[in-house]
Structure 1
Amino acid sequence: MGSIGTRRPIRIANCSGANPDPGYKMLEQTTAGQVDAITGDYLAEFNLATNALDYQAGKHKGWEPTCEDGILQTLEAANSKQIKIVVDGGALNPKGLAERVQSEVTAKGYDLKLSYVEGDDVTSRLEEIFRGAQFEHLDAKNEGVKIDKLTRDWLSRDNKERPEIISAHAYLGARGIVAALRAGADIVICGRVADASPVIGLAAWWHAWSEHDFDQLAGALIAGHLIECSGYGTGGNFCGFTKFPIESSVNLGYPIAEIEQDGTCVVTKHEALKGRVTRDTVRGQLLYELQGNIYLNSDVKADIKNIQMREVGDNRVNVFGVKGYPPPATTKLAMFYQGGYQLEWYLAATGTLGEVYAKWDLVEAQIAHAMKRRGISKDQLDILEYQRIGVPETNPRDQYAGTAILRVFVQGESRDIVTQVYASWCEMVMQHYSGMHATLDTRTAVPRPFLGFVPAIIPQSALKEKAVLLKPYTVLDAGTVSVTEALAPLIDEETTNPVPLESFGPTIEARMGDVVYARSGDKGSNNNVGFWVHEQDEYDWLRSALTKKELIRLLGGEWKEEFALERVEMPGILAVHFVVYGLLGRGVSSTARLDNFGKGLADFLRAR
């Protein structure tokens, strides 16, 4: 293993991109080849929110069980091979997980120093930090963006009238991680650090970067983003998977970043494991859950407008061209509040498309009639949507192929009113459309609490980030950033030099996916989607044809006038990237969309 300040690149393997990733993936990354460090990203809005209530009620340990399992499986190998482990799986209780692992380390007699990072949980400090002032939404200063109505309503209420805030976690950078590693920690357990912060921390420690080495930090930030989603970097969530045998996409090995002293990196994987690392898979991961031309972290802003990638060997992609700038004075604050109650249920229908749509029209009319009889109006609800899913085949080969689904989704602050929407359907059920059928499991039709999500901002100066070593017990103040820079407006551009489309020859109508790859994902209440091609002439066509107006046309019924759209070109990787502001409503934890993580938007657009 290298020492601090070495010029050799640090080899960092990722073992998790979400809490379902099993523990054995951490052990696999440790033993299938040589690495210097392991990182795991176990947190998302969804699980951080859903575990908060149970943790406060004493029904949850506060950390992610898969993270605990991975560390315990890996301790022996990490001890013998001197491999560092930095994870965010401590979630709501990083101290508790650190103490759990320490007990195992002590029992086995391993020579490993445990630490944890704290300071992200500011739930109890909100009044002290904001002193009664209104919270500022993350997108508030973005001109043209309209914050979701339900979120605006929550923000505008008096503090005493707002539904209870369940949790509030600031997205921490790498300062606490670096402090722990420099103090000799072998395992660093974090709560809500930003997804790429473990990689930044390891690279900054290894190469002895200062907090002002912005180009290097920015390169590590992008390297962290490229490996943070485990299998997404090696062939998972990849629209080009159909070009390979199905078996080659089963049980993927996870990605590795080799980060150089200058912050550039090579993305790779263990050769002994399955999967693929190509310019396509790496571009796909870069364009996933992206804001635009600037990628933000508490430590640095990374400008990726001119990022470049090149394949330098089998399963080896060199990434360079990232420019770094000082971070903003604020960081993201993920707040979750008692949003109310929601339920949903599904109905199935067979027949021609016209017949099926007539059946759905009847359902809506019947529910509206029964709600009116009960004295309930749609205005008393936050959301009542009838989502028509799928199209029955013509001359279907079996009944499943000739079936479409209706999803009825309901949200509101009043449990009783939400309940009565489903009761309205039940009241009319014996007047149903011909051939009505549905699952007999109605548990989703029982009102359950949901948490609303507000992505706000918090001054970095208000944070009290610390790294704590357990043996000997040592508390290290991680400090705050000393140099900041305001965030300039994100680039929103149409192509400056379009190529006349007729110059490409005769035009035919075809699926975009026949020639274009894409990846999409959630960014709070927004959905991003990036498109890329393989050759320069294809890119000249893509950047000329795929204007903002054209994307709105392709979005079809998904587009609403209250949404906003940003566009940026990335010529170094032959990509055009968009952010659709507002598509996910209040975000993953409470959106009405079936595609709640926004992953399916890219494939919908490729099918147009």
Structure 2
Amino acid sequence: MKRPIRIGGGSGSSIDRRIGFAQLASGHPDDPVDVIIGDFMSEGNMTTLAAKRAAGGDSQTSYEQTFVNALKLGLEDIARNGIKVIVNAGGTDTERLHKVIVDLVKKRGLALQVAWISGDEVLPVILERSRANPDAFINKHTGETLASWPHTPIYAQCYLGGFGIAAALKHGADIVVCGRVADASPIIGAAAWWHGWDHSHLSELACSLVAGHLIECSTYVTGGNFTGFKRLEKGGRWLNLGYPIAEIGPAGDVVITKRKGTGGVVSVGTCTSQLLYEIQGPWYFNSDVTAILDNIAFTQVAKNRVSVSGIQAAPPPATTKVGITAHGGFHAETYYYIVGLDAEDKARMFEQQARSLFADPSVGSLENFTLLDFQLLGVPAKNPRSQTAATATLRIVAQAKRAEHLGMQKFMRPLMDLIMGAYPGGTVHMDTRMGLPRPIHEYFVTLLDQRDVKHQVHLPNGSVVDIPPPPKTQVFPSQQPSTPRFVSSAPVGAKKSALDIDFRPTIRAPLGAVVHARSGDKGSDANVGFFVEDRDQYKWMRKLLSVDKIIELLGDDYNGQAIDRFELPNILAVHFLLHDHLDRGVSCTSSVDFLGKNVAEYLRAKEVDIPRRFLLGRNVLGKL
């Protein structure tokens, strides 16, 4: 029986540190990895790279150059130690990235074989199917059809599974470059290759899918974006967070660890935090398998070593996710500063002045804006200790279909001209560059039958291998399981159970004094998962955090849309999906929280009635 494969997560995005590949590759022989994966794609750069590809021309680089920079730092160690590399950094031009890597390897004099994956570019089939059937493609977030979408698609990219990667490795590739494979597909592909799995190994594939989700965002599972971050200050553990390693055994057994001798931590808490990130319910879909998460559990088996269990499996859906990009117009923004007293009144005065000026025929901007928003960011401190503490920011955001409608004389200049009649202390940000129009892109998320995808592997010897769709699929309801509130499983009339603990007396305090949380984006949806550190806290939290309570905590930010809720009792978590919470998604949102990462922190700051004994115990997360 083969030993577990060790897969290192060397990059979580195009703006991760460049050192991940080098850090992981240098661990031999005491801390070796067999494969390093890198996740460079997101819904943000998918649209910008799509626009570059659609623009054409040799000057347009529509792959992720950041991968090339990262690979250069560790390439010799990768070659010396026989490490495989798998990345989705091809963006929208994987073939060109393949040529770049082949040239780099040749220039370094290394005997590495490079393969690339195609099939993610699907605009022609999308347009063909839409013309034949106007109802063929439904936006997963808005419910509108592609045929009724008021934008012209310029690019469409689907999410591929991992079996193309497995085939490339089987045929001798050392480096596999991909475009839009799903974030966890490199891990699925590597594990399937190593252990010889095929589509019949659903349980093993589901475990590798979850392992992939845990390490795909690199240091998010080793202490990054973790609400227990203050515990990492001692000993400087929040410095140089180590890149994660997933050990996946032949039966799908998974242990998450990290590069030795680095900062950060791998704990039940960090793994729980990362699991809750970007999921949309208990069914976690991939083109190769569906992981069922209801009974997932984490166990701390040693320092910086967490085992994963309780994952169930189902066949994959017959469809795969597709992101369709279109030109969405232009965006501009600028900032005024508000200091001290009456911040809301000052902001209201300025907004009324600005709207009046934009409506003036001599300016004539208002009718051309598709969006004009005034956002007061922050609140000046009471009795402030410094002027900085007394300062809030008024953000003015505008969008329009044409760039000239946001030109200097139409947007930035009128706002600057208001300064002499503005509120007391009115001060505009002097850097006008963000006030100039920049392109934005609309993003349409839908599903495509996997049989319509031409998934291919381009091997180092020039031959091509076709990857068929999965032989067995399953149809899932469009709505994931959701329970709006905790429902006891105890029969009516049963004796008082452990869930009926009296949690009085209580103290009014921020939810985050006891509760961890993590949030993120999926298109225009935001997801947020809450978790705690012991069973009593969970019994209290699962009762407290209903859909109605989340609506109450959201306050003015609740948009009236549906909210889904499900529980993960083995990891003491409750998860919520906030539909359409993020405006129109990362590519064209008007929110400063364009990735949804701060929804959790906002909700943790809200005050609730917390059992007094929790606040006096050792698990308090922050000072009151």
Q: Could you tell me which residue of structure 2 aligns to residue 101 of structure 1?
A: 101
**CA contact 1:366–1:425 (8 Å) conserved in 2:** no
Candidates 16, 21, 28, aligned match of 2:16: 21
Alignment of 1:212-223 (within 5 A): 212-223=200-211
Equivalent position amino acid for 1:20 in 2: I
Q: Could you tell me which residue of structure 1 aligns to residue 393 of structure 2?
A: 405
* Cα distance, 1:42 vs structure 2: 0.6
CA offset digits 1:500-555 (Å, max 9, x no partner): 77711212211111110000000111000000011111111011111111111111
Candidates 551, 563, 575, aligned match of 1:577: 575
Q: Output the CA distance in 1 between the equivalents of 2:21 and 2:63.
A: 16
Candidates 456, 460, 479, aligned match of 1:466: 456
SS of equivalent to 2:166: helix
Q: Could you tell me which residue of structure 1 aligns to residue 121 of structure 2?
A: 121
Alignment of 1:130-209 (within 5 A): 130-134=130-134, 136-139=137-140, 147=143, 152=144, 156-157=148-149, 162-209=150-197
SS of equivalent to 1:131: helix
SS of equivalent to 1:428: helix
**CA contact 2:130–2:147 (8 Å) conserved in 1:** no
Structure 2: 5+ residue stretches without partners: 490-497, 607-624
Q: Could you tell me which residue of structure 2 aligns to residue 371 of structure 1?
A: 358
Q: Could you tell me which residue of structure 2 aligns to residue 495 of structure 1?
A: 486
Q: Output the CA distance in 1 between the equivalents of 2:154 and 2:419.
A: 38
TM-score computed with the length of structure 2 as normaliser: 0.90
* Cα distance, 1:432 vs structure 2: 1.2
* Cα distance, 1:325 vs structure 2: 0.7
Alignment of 1:567-606 (within 5 A): 567-606=565-604
* Cα distance, 1:154 vs structure 2: 7.1
Q: Could you tell me which residue of structure 2 aligns to residue 361 of structure 1?
A: 348
Q: Could you tell me which residue of structure 1 aligns to residue 261 of structure 2?
A: 272
SS of equivalent to 2:507: coil
**CA contact 1:129–1:462 (8 Å) conserved in 2:** no
* Cα distance, 1:30 vs structure 2: 1.0
* Cα distance, 1:35 vs structure 2: 0.8
Q: Output the CA distance in 2 between the equivalents of 1:566 and 1:376.
A: 43
Q: 1:437 to 1:304 in 2, by over 3 A?
A: same
Moved more, 21-30 or 511-520: 21-30
> Does 1:7 find its partner at 2:6?
no
Q: Could you tell me which residue of structure 2 aligns to residue 346 of structure 1?
A: 335
**CA contact 2:137–2:145 (8 Å) conserved in 1:** no
TM-score computed with the length of structure 1 as normaliser: 0.92
Moved more, 239-248 or 435-444: 239-248
* Cα distance, 1:20 vs structure 2: 1.8
**CA contact 1:367–1:421 (8 Å) conserved in 2:** no
Moved more, 48-57 or 79-88: 48-57
**CA contact 1:71–1:101 (8 Å) conserved in 2:** no
Q: Could you tell me which residue of structure 1 aligns to residue 72 of structure 2?
A: 72
Q: 1:549 to 1:43 in 2, by over 3 A?
A: same
Q: Could you tell me which residue of structure 2 aligns to residue 439 of structure 1?
A: 429
Q: Output the CA distance in 2 between the equivalents of 1:251 and 1:244.
A: 11
CA offset digits 1:280-319 (Å, max 9, x no partner): 0010000011111111111111110110100000000000
SS of equivalent to 1:589: coil
Moved more, 104-113 or 306-315: 104-113
Q: Could you tell me which residue of structure 1 aligns to residue 442 of structure 2?
A: 452
Q: Could you tell me which residue of structure 1 aligns to residue 622 of structure 2?
A: none
Moved more, 283-292 or 377-386: 377-386
CA offset digits 1:123-167 (Å, max 9, x no partner): 344323433534523526xxxxx55xxxx497514xxxx433232
Equivalent position amino acid for 2:72 in 1: L
**CA contact 2:137–2:146 (8 Å) conserved in 1:** no
Q: Could you tell me which residue of structure 2 aligns to residue 505 of structure 1?
A: 504
* Cα distance, 1:110 vs structure 2: 2.7
Q: 1:306 to 1:500 in 2, by over 3 A?
A: closer
Q: Output the CA distance in 2 between the equivalents of 1:13 and 1:255.
A: 6
Structure 1: 5+ residue stretches without partners: 1-5, 141-145
> Does 1:525 find its partner at 2:524?
yes
Candidates 471, 477, 494, aligned match of 1:482: 471
- Percent identity, aligned pairs only, is 38
SS of equivalent to 1:360: helix
Alignment of 1:170-319 (within 5 A): 170-245=158-233, 247-319=236-308
Q: Output the CA distance in 2 between the equivalents of 1:425 and 1:579.
A: 37
**CA contact 1:72–1:101 (8 Å) conserved in 2:** no
Aligned residues: 586
* Cα distance, 1:213 vs structure 2: 1.4
Runs ≥4 residues deviating over 6 A:
498-502
Root mean square deviation of aligned Cα = 2.0
SS of equivalent to 2:193: helix
